[in-house]
Amino acid sequence: MSRVSSTNLAVSAIAASLVAPAAPLRIGLIGFGCVGQGLYDILQRLPGFGAEVRRIAVKNPDKSRSLPASAFSFQADELLQDKELDVLVEVIDDAAEAFRLVSAALCQGRRVVTANKAMVAQHLPELIALEQQFGGTLLYEAAVCGSIPVIRTLDAYFGQEPLRSVSGIFNGSSNYVLTRMGEDASEYAAALAEAQQKGFAETDPTLDMAAFDPRSKAVILAAHAYGVLLQPEQVLNLGIENVSATDIAYAAVANQKIKVVAGLYLLPNHQLTVLVTPQLVDPTSPLYSVDDEFNGVVIEAEFAGTQFLRGRGAGGHPTGSAVLADLAALRANQRYAYAKLARPQLSYTSDLELEIYLRTDDELILDQLGFTDITEEADEDGYIVGFVPLDALIQHRDRLRKAGAFVARTGNVRPATAHAADTLELATAAE
């Protein structure tokens, strides 16, 4: 046989292997809410993808669903015991139960996809350890920013490059409320009711409006962007439950918008800080035009410069598309590298002062926060602008919420021991 003909045969064999259909992934789906139904619908529309939902576990047997009752199991543990399933996809809203199921699957060396950001944020060190010990694989792209592929981007593309900051709008529900208040001059309650009516906010909106949800996402990104494993409680989260038309108007006068911005910032001396708060954003930021239920992520890389990702941050199909991407990655035997976890650890710091806009009629809070500088004050409108210690905001965040106070960052930050002229210039296009 000639060299040419043998080469042609080899090329043909390779081509045949590439186009040969692989055995479809057999999926066990735990949860059939918004994301579960979204993924199911996507797979029905993509028969060529090569995956099929073999079993579905749900909690409530009496709930009306789009599939007949015979399609469901009512014990999720049955799916854990089914060795014929190739992948378990967990999309329930109970973080404790999600951890029980996902950790049990990883102890079996299973391949798992989850969308539960609270569970991942609370237990990421344990989950990574279980992967390493038992050889399973856990992917969770759908846990952060819906359809935006930010985790895989940070883990793979920026796995080696130093990042100056990762910041953005990580919660579509609160962003929708702020958009309506800014465009329609709505008060908070009316804007929230509209968001709930359209399915952009939950009946109990606390996790979104009090910024617990974007805080979980920021904690997850800290592991991939900087190799730092945090507990959610370490990170300041202030929400918009107390925002008013007065606050929206204050921003508008300066040609700014209020956005809930989650920011991960590399500081001098190899330190990292993470903040999740409302922020005054001006038109120079790409986040200024991210409205309604959309999310946006700004990545400031040392060498690549500024990258901006924008997409739908919630909904069955957008989040289901992230689960679909994880399924494709599992089929290609891909897993997260966590490359930066192996490097010398950055130290996490809250020893900073933030310049904030604070509206409150509670003078005790003013004393407790301990303003070190006041740059603007308006007694008639009940607000003050100035620098306060970050530790004080963390310590009193619950009191601020209960007292009806509203806080927004201006974007100016400085070391806690600094003078006014020593303000840090955070490396982010969000400010």
Active-site residue list? 217
Residue 120's closest CA among 107, 110, 109, 130?
130
In which residue are the tokens 């029905």 written? 44
> What CA–CA distance (Å, rounded) separates 414 from 119?
33
> What CA–CA distance (Å, rounded) separates 360 from 310?
34
> How far is the first Cα of the chain from the last one, in angstroms, to the nearest whole number?
68
> What CA–CA distance (Å, rounded) separates 422 from 416?
10
Label residue 164 exposed, middle or buried (CB < 10 Å: 0-12, 13-18, 19+): middle
Helix (H) or strand (E) holding 280: strand 271-281
Residue 293's closest CA among 205, 150, 173, 213?
173
Helix (H) or strand (E) holding 428: none
For residue 267, the SS3 value is strand
